[in-house]
Amino acid sequence: MAEATVNTSAAPAAATGARAHEPSFVYLVKDALATGAIALALAFPLVGFRTVDRGSTTIIETRFGQMFLGVAVIALGRFAFSLIDAGYARAILAGSGVLSVAWLLLVAVDPGGAAIFPLGWMSWMLVVSVALRAAYVSWGDRSEARGDAVSPGDRVAATVQRLAVFFGPVLLLFAIAMPLLPMADQRWVDLGILVLTYVMLGWGLNVVVGLAGLLDLGYVAFYAVGAYSYAIIAKTFGLNFWEALPMAGGLAAMFGVLLGFPVLRLRGDYLAIVTLGFGEIVRVVLLNWNELSNGPKGIGEIPRPSFFGMPFTPAPPQGVTSFHQWFSAHLWEIGFSPIQRAVYLYYIILLLALLTNIFTLRIRKLPIGRAWEALREDEIACRALGINPTNTKLTAFAIGAMFGGFAGSFFATRQGFISPESFNFIESAIILAIVVLGGMGSQIGVVIASIVLIGGPEWFRDLESYRMLAFGGLMVLIMIWRPQGLLAFREPTILLKPKAGPP
């Protein structure tokens, strides 16, 4: 079961080096050296030289030291991987585990001390991935010895899913308490809002992609419809956030049905292309329909949310109490701070995201949710069972779009300004990546993927320009190890309990 993912490293010579025929030690060394040679050939032009701007001239610097270190790290890594596959997984696990912990301790004690390791965090990442791989394989060996039919990755996913029963509430408590913790400054709360927005979008899209299996690349269209509906309704009719929110969601759902009708007969790649087109159409319309959307200039001064009619402003107009004044009068003295609004927004999106989650979890156990999953599995069989595929698909589109619309309204009220630029294809791609990486149909997977994909780039800021590289590397690793998504493990929606009494 683990063999399938073994031969993914650079060296083509390794393609034959599976565990089956116990390769000799000499062979493993040769294999590692061959990998090193390939790495050297690549690193020579890429790492070996670099151009440096010196005022008016550009000079070429050599970095052979770093280059050889890098090559050595790669060769060692390859050797470690081969040893893992040759049956020394536990030993390698222990060694690399000790090394990576030692590195962490070194950094904790003295940030300069990490220099003992060549190339700093890059070699650390390698050590960590070796450790992960070793853990994966030794787990696989154990379950193989027991004769399990389930792959270790699935077992991890199943365990995490089961733990989610306890883990979920803890995560929820953390999410509730987060803005009140002492370390929570504006940056943390803003990041929390961002992550939660994508969690909500991910959960919304999960209905369409994960449950109903309709690959939608234009989800951002509904996000845009929700945002613009909220902005226009709130500004034109003077409604507040909570009044305009359902309307915006309803309009987005309508657009979902509108998109659903023409694409009912399409599936797979064709559906993806058409939905992608729909996403672009909505953006281009918003860009050009000046009378409605104010074109590329966007819509500004969108009403910000108020706390039961109390705005979050330092100096409210005559006759209006602002939140901090009310709070000071009734509870305890606080001054005005912009973070108050951020915290309030944070709780709004938390509430909206939780609503999405509860709704999805419940609907999955209803006939319509089961019909979505059945439709994903086999549409023809569904028709033979009397399930109306048209209605079933349209409901999925509408409900997914509605949640996208809610998230869009929130986005508009949070930003106070929207323009078509915010609703690019890349947004759809990120939301889809969250759903796919998390494991299609998995609710907790979406949370983890959002934290990794949205929070990750923020946390990796210390890596500066290597940030996107680390991000891309992570995605590649996930696709190699868990092509079906991190937590793609499906719990049945209903279990047959043994009947009480005599059989």
Asked whether position 55 contacts another protein by CB under 8 A, the answer is no
Residue 373 C-beta: closest distance to another protein, Å? 6
Contact (CB, 8 A) for 458 and 450: no
Q: Which of 491, 492, 487, 402 lies closest to 440 in space, CA to CA?
A: 487
Q: Which is nearer to another protein, 50 or 365 (CB)?
A: 365
Asked whether position 267 contacts another protein by CB under 8 A, the answer is no
Give, as ranges, the residues between 145 and 174 that touch another protein (CB under 8 A).
Answer: 149
Gap between the Cα atoms of 354 and 199, Å rounded: 10
Asked whether position 211 contacts another protein by CB under 8 A, the answer is no
Gap between the Cα atoms of 200 and 351, Å rounded: 10
Contact (CB, 8 A) for 304 and 311: yes
SS (H, E, C) 111-137: HHHHHHCCCCHHHHHHHHHHHHHHHHH
Contact residue for another protein among 27, 167, 359, 471 (CB under 8 A): 359
Residue 159 C-beta: closest distance to another protein, Å? 18
Residue 485 C-beta: closest distance to another protein, Å? 13
Residue 152 C-beta: closest distance to another protein, Å? 18
Candidates 19-27, 32-40, 384-392, 406-414 — which segment interacts with another protein by CB under 8 A?
Answer: 384-392
Residue 501 C-beta: closest distance to another protein, Å? 13
Contact (CB, 8 A) for 350 and 177: no
Asked whether position 502 contacts another protein by CB under 8 A, the answer is no
Q: In this structure, how many other beta carbons lie within 10 angstroms of the beta carbon of residue 389?
A: 16
C-alpha pair distances (Å), 191 with each of 75, 132, 371, 475? 39, 28, 36, 21
Contact residue for another protein among 370, 425, 470, 481 (CB under 8 A): 370
Q: Which of 184, 218, 179, 219 lies closest to 198 in space, CA to CA?
A: 219
Contact residue for another protein among 98, 173, 385, 476 (CB under 8 A): 385
Q: Which is nearer to another protein, 162 or 187 (CB)?
A: 162
Residue 239 C-beta: closest distance to another protein, Å? 26
SS (H, E, C) 189-251: HHHHHHHHHHHHHHHHHHHHHHHCCCCCCCCHHHHHHHHHHHHHHHHHHCCCHHHHHHHHHHH
Asked whether position 257 contacts another protein by CB under 8 A, the answer is no
Asked whether position 362 contacts another protein by CB under 8 A, the answer is yes
C-alpha pair distances (Å), 1 with each of 143, 264, 326, 486? 10, 38, 63, 17
Q: State the binding string over 388-417 for another protein (x if CB under 8 A, else -).
A: xx----------------------------
Gap between the Cα atoms of 428 and 475, Å rounded: 17
Contact residue for another protein among 147, 319, 492, 502 (CB under 8 A): 492
Q: Which is nearer to another protein, 65 or 492 (CB)?
A: 492
Q: Is the dihedral of CA 469, 473, 475, 476 positive or negative?
A: positive
Asked whether position 361 contacts another protein by CB under 8 A, the answer is no
Contact residue for another protein among 378, 416, 476, 483 (CB under 8 A): 378
Residue whose entry in the numeric block shows the structure tokens 């073994």 = 6
Asked whether position 483 contacts another protein by CB under 8 A, the answer is no
C-alpha pair distances (Å), 356 with each of 181, 201, 330, 399? 25, 9, 33, 10
Contact residue for another protein among 146, 330, 461, 499 (CB under 8 A): 499
Candidates 46-54, 159-167, 386-394, 459-467 — which segment interacts with another protein by CB under 8 A?
Answer: 386-394
Paired residues of 58 in beta bridges: 53
Half-sphere exposure at residue 235, Cβ-oriented, CA atoms within 13 angstroms:
18
Residue 18 C-beta: closest distance to another protein, Å? 26
Q: Which is nearer to another protein, 145 or 149 (CB)?
A: 149
Contact residue for another protein among 32, 208, 348, 371 (CB under 8 A): 371
Residue whose entry in the numeric block shows the structure tokens 């050009």 = 288
Contact residue for another protein among 71, 74, 363, 449 (CB under 8 A): 363
Residue 500 C-beta: closest distance to another protein, Å? 12
What is the four-CA torsion angle of 255, 259, 262, 263, rounded to 10 degrees? -150
Q: Which of 491, 494, 503 lies closest to 164 in space, CA to CA?
A: 491
Contact residue for another protein among 426, 494, 500, 501 (CB under 8 A): 494
- The C-alpha R_g of the chain, in whole angstroms, comes to 27
Residue whose entry in the numeric block shows the structure tokens 């683990």 = 2
Q: Which is nearer to another protein, 128 or 355 (CB)?
A: 355
Gap between the Cα atoms of 373 and 295, Å rounded: 40
Paired residues of 52 in beta bridges: 59
Asked whether position 500 contacts another protein by CB under 8 A, the answer is no
Asked whether position 115 contacts another protein by CB under 8 A, the answer is no
Q: State the binding string over 120-149 for another protein (x if CB under 8 A, else -).
A: -----------------------------x
| Backbone dihedral region for residue 295 (phi beyond 0: left; psi -120 to 50: alpha; all else: beta) | left
Candidates 43-51, 116-124, 379-387, 416-424 — which segment interacts with another protein by CB under 8 A?
Answer: 379-387
DSSP 212: S
Residue 381 C-beta: closest distance to another protein, Å? 4
Gap between the Cα atoms of 103 and 121, Å rounded: 9
Asked whether position 187 contacts another protein by CB under 8 A, the answer is no
Q: Which residues bind another protein (CB under 8 A)?
A: 149, 359, 362-363, 366-368, 370-371, 373-374, 377-378, 380-389, 490, 492-496, 499
